[in-house]
Amino acid sequence: MAVKVLAIVLAGGEGKRLMPLTADRAKPGVPFGGIYRMIDFVLSNLANAGYLKIVVLTQYKSHSLDRHISKTWRMSTLLGNYVTPVPAQQRLGPRWFAGSADAIYQSLNLINDESPDYVIVFGADHIYRMDPKQMVNDHIASGAAVTVAGIRQPLSLADQFGVIDVGPDGKKIKAFREKPKDATGLPDSPDEVYASMGNYVFTTRALCEAVTLDAQNPDSKHDMGGNIIPMLVERGEANVYDFRDNDVPGATDRDRGYWRDVGTLDSFYEAHMDLIATLPIFNLYNHDWPIFTNYGSWPPAKFVHGYDDRQGRAIDSMISPGVVVSGALVERSVISPNVRVNSWAHVDGAVIMEGVSVGRRAVIRNAIIDKNVVIPEGAQIGVDLDRDRKLYTVSDNGVVVIGKGQRVEL
């Protein structure tokens, strides 16, 4: 008989480092790649692998995320499949989730109701393709209590990640450390370390016992990576899964093994730039492993005017349905649905979200513009960063970010 698997997606993070994009929405609900939300990537990975019983644990500013899940992620109830958002239920008292491990502890009833053999616990805010079934099969074969997905990173960058130290066999985890300064390389590659991807597969009994024991520890931060995994590592019951071994159908040599944690404004922006190359670093056009979403009933994109310097065109860009580029130039940009870019405007290196209007002769460079912002005629964004810092958010790398519905000054 096929093993029973329940997937739990952790979607409760505040996403403070993505402000102002997270001012009105949870981090997994932030739009990405024109027509998607961040959470669509993990849900698509699970659905493509055939795991169709999925619980999404939410907490902060979850309305936009809940609405997206309810409109987009409808499974066949006839077959008992579902994707359901679950807020903090306060089953154990009047309190929210105290951490990712506490979120699962407070939701043990969901696991007990489903009675799975194994539980997948994945994060909701990473951009990547992965076949979780291959990781589950590896976990079952190992006999471990937990398997942690690890991605190889240069040893020199170890102090930027949660690092998985492994034993001589390259599989059993001997230590799980946060941003170590003295990391050592892998047995088969001394110049690399395993960085934790925040994706775990548990044997159900081990997970339930671990989060229950953790809940009784008043000194714990009740975090999956910070407390639960080290607990099982200490018992010698944790293995690593090498993301390099994951073979996703349709992957190209260029985008195989891509994974990005878009936890900052700069990483969010850079991940968008990864989409638009001729041979993209992350390929949204893999039809063998699609990213599913629902972007409404927008008409096709339209480009109008084509004489002298008033030509509607886009170069090295992704243009979503409902967009009108009217006598303007769009370069190296990702444009979301229902955006209008008016005559003689120039958009270069920008992420433009739904419902934005770019006025005539406006200039936008190296910027993220959130939903429903009106850029007045002749406005300049990203041209004078000293001025922009007084009015908007500017990232460490000089990306100008304008929040949802924010007023733009001339």
178 annotated to bind ligand: yes
Cα–Cα distance measured from residue 380 to residue 375, given in angstroms and rounded to the nearest whole number: 9
331 known member of a binding site: no
* List of residues 6+ apart from 356 with CB closer than 8 A: 336, 339, 340, 369, 371, 372, 373, 374, 375
Q: Distance between CA 115 and CA 269 in Å, rounded?
A: 41
Identity of the residue numbered 331: E
Please give the torsion angle defined by the CA atoms of residues 12, 53, 41 and 318, in that order, rounded to the nearest 10 degrees. Answer: -120
Total count of residues recorded for the chain: 410
Contacts made by residues 26-31, CB under 8 angstroms, sequence distance 24+: 26/58, 26/59, 26/60, 26/61, 26/62, 26/64, 26/65, 27/124, 27/125, 27/263, 28/65, 28/124, 28/125, 29/61, 29/62, 29/64, 29/65, 29/68, 30/125, 30/268, 31/336, 31/353, 31/354, 31/371
Element (H, E) at 137: helix 132-142
The answer to whether the annotation marks 162 as part of a ligand binding site is yes
| Residue 4 assigned to a binding site | no
Known binding residues are: 162, 178-179, 196
Known binding residues for alpha-D-glucose 1-phosphate are: 162, 178-179, 196
